[in-house]
């Protein structure tokens, strides 16, 4: 039961690595605890609210009570299925801003500046959008498309941004992220184009990939070198041997748990659970970050929202059309318009993200009681709050202890209040006059800082972008977990390649940068020289020092 590489996790980065490694002639074993991604709940884009709320596909992890959010426990869905979280996410495709990756490099992740990672984004993309083609990839495995924006509310949102004085960007993943414009998605020919569809299934055809279903218990380390992975397969404990290296790509919540179960982490914490310490790395499980967001909801004057389909017959109609033709509303995630703006003058690149949705509904599928409505998901991108992932016990089946420590910094509250007030201004523009009936949530009666803070405390939700728990850095950095080639510091033959390694959360959704990590890590695993750096210069708002827009 051996292969060149053993990868734990068939998610965004794991699938990308499996594809590139088998393409190069290596044999790969991928361990995944979840099962098949077949079936309409995953493959139909319009059904996205279902898989992330189904125990069949989701690990079911939850935060500890959050002290700054009134003790609320927040769900933190992670994909337990082929394709990982790319099979249960909202399919939104955002690379992140160029400045994010330059910050990574400045933090010790040498070789991960924007010029270094842009060639990997281009290598992975098969782009079908409009804009400057020089910034995008055209023959990669990952299809990137845009929705039709047939509902007039999408263009009303983009027009409202322009009326409020913001730029309109033709491609936020291209030269200029800042502005309002069409949103991109990992959807192709009406289907969710997950990392499994893009990478794992083609890799399987090579004959060099073996997919093993089981629960990874720990990395087997002998004389300071990772030799394989111990798994529980249907109640039997087995060891999958790696002739070359072991790679953990199990998510920013499960990867640090696996590292700690393997004796890699804060020595005192491991000793407290009776786990022998192999490498004392206090950064394992630290630096946990996420994006929080609010749903600002508005009642609609016109019955043109998706609410008319929010019933048994409407859903059946959409489902049937998709099943037989892969077209219609079921072929879109309905996130077809978006924006990235700066919160105030002196901020050099966007720190607020918007997803616009032509229905007032929660991620758990509960629609607003008032019927026809629409909403903007809005939240700050760069909170300085940090949390942790720690062990609940030495039992590999026990979920980790997840403490996000949301809203623990005073700036977080100021940032969120700005989000609410800037959003209200956008929906007050002329283009929304035919559509806005009134504000459902928070409600126009809430105006003072104290009233808005109470609303934020009760209603802020995770955008499901956890990262940072095994961060990349210099080998002499005591809080770094992996070096710039994704090698775990203190153990040979072991790497981490998923969103755990992010030094800081990127601007936007994390699927794209997670896949990029898998692409780049594959070159490191193969001992290849990285792709040559790009020389394109991204565009910043020239007036960012003196103007908010």
Report pLDDT digits (tens) over 262-271.
999 999 999 9
Residues 327-343 have a mean pLDDT of 97
Whether the predicted pLDDT of 290 surpasses 80: yes
Q: What is the pLDDT of residue 107?
A: 97
Sort strands 494-496 and 236-248 into parallel, antiparallel or unpaired: parallel
- The answer to whether 92 is annotated as binding is yes
- Residue 443 in contact with residue 296, Cβ under 8 Å? no
CA dist., res. 305 & res. 358, Å (int)? 5
* Residues in contact with 528: Cβ distance below 8 Å, sequence separation at least 6, in sequence order: none
Q: What is the pLDDT of residue 220?
A: 98
Whether the predicted pLDDT of 77 surpasses 80: yes
This prediction has a pTM of 0.98
CA dist., res. 163 & res. 429, Å (int)? 7
- Long-range contacts from 267-274, C-beta under 8 angstroms, 24+ separation: 269/390, 269/391, 270/391, 273/391, 273/393, 273/394, 274/394
Residue among 547, 87, 168 nearest 347 (CA): 547
* Residues in contact with 338: Cβ distance below 8 Å, sequence separation at least 6, in sequence order: 92, 172, 180, 181, 182, 183, 353, 354, 355, 356
Mean pLDDT, the chain, whole residue set: 97
Write a three-state SS string for 401-434. Answer: EEECCCCCCHHHHHHHHHHHHHHHHHHCCHHHCC
Q: What is the pLDDT of residue 370?
A: 86
Q: What is the pLDDT of residue 361?
A: 86
Which percentage of the chain shows pLDDT scores above 70?
Answer: 100
Q: What is the pLDDT of residue 362?
A: 76
- The answer to whether 91 is annotated as binding is yes
Residues 173-198 have a mean pLDDT of 98
Confidence band of 1 (pLDDT split at 50, 70, 90): confident
Annotated active-site residue 524? The verdict is no
Q: What is the pLDDT of residue 366?
A: 73
Q: Break the chain into its structural domains and give their ranges.
A: 1-42+73-145+184-289+388-397+466-531, 148-182+292-380+408-459
Report pLDDT digits (tens) over 475-526.
999 999 999 999 999 999 999 999 999 999 999 999 999 999 999 999 999 9
- The answer to whether 124 is annotated as binding is no
Confidence band of 142 (pLDDT split at 50, 70, 90): very high
Confidence band of 159 (pLDDT split at 50, 70, 90): very high
- The structure tokens 């099979």 sit at 87
Q: What is the pLDDT of residue 333?
A: 97
Fold of the CATH domain 148-182+292-380+408-459: Cholesterol Oxidase; domain 2 (3.30.410)
**What are the tokens at 514?**
């997670």
- The answer to whether 287 is annotated as binding is no
CA dist., res. 503 & res. 108, Å (int)? 9
Residue 523 phi, psi dihedral angles, 5° rounding: -65, -40
The catalytic residue among 33, 143, 377, 465 is 465
Whether the predicted pLDDT of 413 surpasses 90: yes
Q: What is the pLDDT of residue 131?
A: 87
- The structure tokens 């009936």 sit at 437
Class of domain 1-42+73-145+184-289+388-397+466-531: alpha beta
Report pLDDT digits (tens) over 364-412.
777 777 899 999 999 999 999 999 999 999 999 999 999 999 999 999 9
Three-state DSSP state, 324: helix
Whether the predicted pLDDT of 363 surpasses 90: no
- The answer to whether 90 is annotated as binding is yes
Residues 532-546 have a mean pLDDT of 96
Report pLDDT digits (tens) over 16-41.
999 999 999 999 999 999 999 999 99
């Amino acid at each position: 039961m051996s292969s060149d590489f053993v990868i734990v996790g068939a998610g965004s980065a794991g699938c990308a690595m499996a594809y590139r490694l088998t393409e190069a002639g290596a044999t790969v074993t991928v361990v995944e605890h979840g099962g098949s991604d077949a079936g309409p709940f995953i493959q139909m884009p319009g059904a996205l609210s279902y898989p992330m709320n189904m125990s069949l596909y989701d690990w079911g992890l939850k935060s500890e009570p959050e002290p700054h959010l009134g003790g609320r426990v927040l769900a933190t869905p992670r994909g337990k299925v082929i394709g990982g979280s790319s099979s249960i996410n909202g399919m939104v495709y955002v690379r992140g801003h160029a400045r994010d990756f330059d910050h990574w490099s400045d933090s010790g992740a040498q070789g991960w500046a924007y010029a270094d990672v842009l060639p990997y984004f281009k290598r992975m993309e098969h782009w079908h959008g409009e804009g400057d083609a020089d910034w995008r990839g055209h023959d990669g495995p990952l299809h990137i498309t845009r929705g039709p924006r047939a509902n007039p509310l999408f263009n009303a949102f983009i027009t409202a941004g322009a009326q409020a004085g913001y730029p309109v960007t033709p491609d936020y993943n291209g030269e200029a992220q800042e502005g309002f414009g069409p949103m991109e998605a990992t959807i192709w020919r009406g289907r969710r184009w997950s990392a499994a569809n893009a990478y794992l299934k083609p890799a399987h055809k090579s004959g060099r990939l073996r997919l093993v279903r089981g629960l990874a218990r720990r990395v087997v380390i002998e004389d300071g070198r990772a030799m394989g992975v111990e798994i529980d397969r249907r109640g039997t404990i087995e060891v999958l041997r790696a002739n070359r290296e072991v790679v953990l790509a199990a998510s920013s919540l499960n990867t640090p748990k696996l590292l700690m179960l393997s004796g890699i982490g804060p020595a005192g914490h491991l000793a407290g659970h009776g786990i022998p310490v192999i490498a004392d790395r206090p950064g394992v499980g630290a630096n946990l970050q996420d994006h929080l967001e609010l749903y600002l909801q508005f009642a609609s004057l016109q019955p043109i929202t998706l609410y008319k389909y929010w019933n048994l017959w409407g859903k059946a109609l959409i489902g049937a059309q998709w099943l037989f033709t892969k077209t219609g509303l079921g072929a879109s995630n309905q996130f077809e318009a978006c924006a990235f703006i700066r919160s105030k003058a002196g901020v050099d690149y966007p720190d607020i993200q918007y997803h616009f949705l032509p229905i007032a509904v929660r991620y758990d599928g509960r629609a607003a009681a008032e019927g026809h409505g629409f909403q903007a998901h809005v939240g700050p991108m760069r909170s300085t709050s940090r949390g942790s992932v720690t062990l609940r016990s030495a039992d590999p089946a026990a979920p980790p202890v997840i403490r996000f420590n949301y809203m623990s910094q005073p700036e977080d509250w100021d940032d969120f209040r700005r989000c609410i007030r800037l959003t209200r201004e956008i929906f007050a523009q002329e283009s929304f006059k035919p559509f806005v009936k009134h504000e459902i949530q928070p409600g126009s009666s809430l105006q003072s800082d104290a009233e808005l803070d109470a609303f934020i405390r009760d209603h802020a939700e995770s955008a499901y972008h956890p990262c940072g728990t095994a961060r990349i850095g210099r080998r002499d950095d005591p809080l770094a977990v992996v070096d710039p080639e994704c090698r775990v510091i203190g153990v040979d033959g072991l790497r981490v390649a998923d969103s755990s390694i992010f030094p800081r959360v990127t601007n936007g959704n994390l699927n794209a940068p997670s896949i990029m990590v898998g692409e780049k890590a594959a070159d490191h695993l193969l001992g290849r020289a990285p792709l040559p750096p790009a020389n394109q210069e991204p565009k910043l708002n020239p007036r960012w020092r003196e103007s908010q827009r």
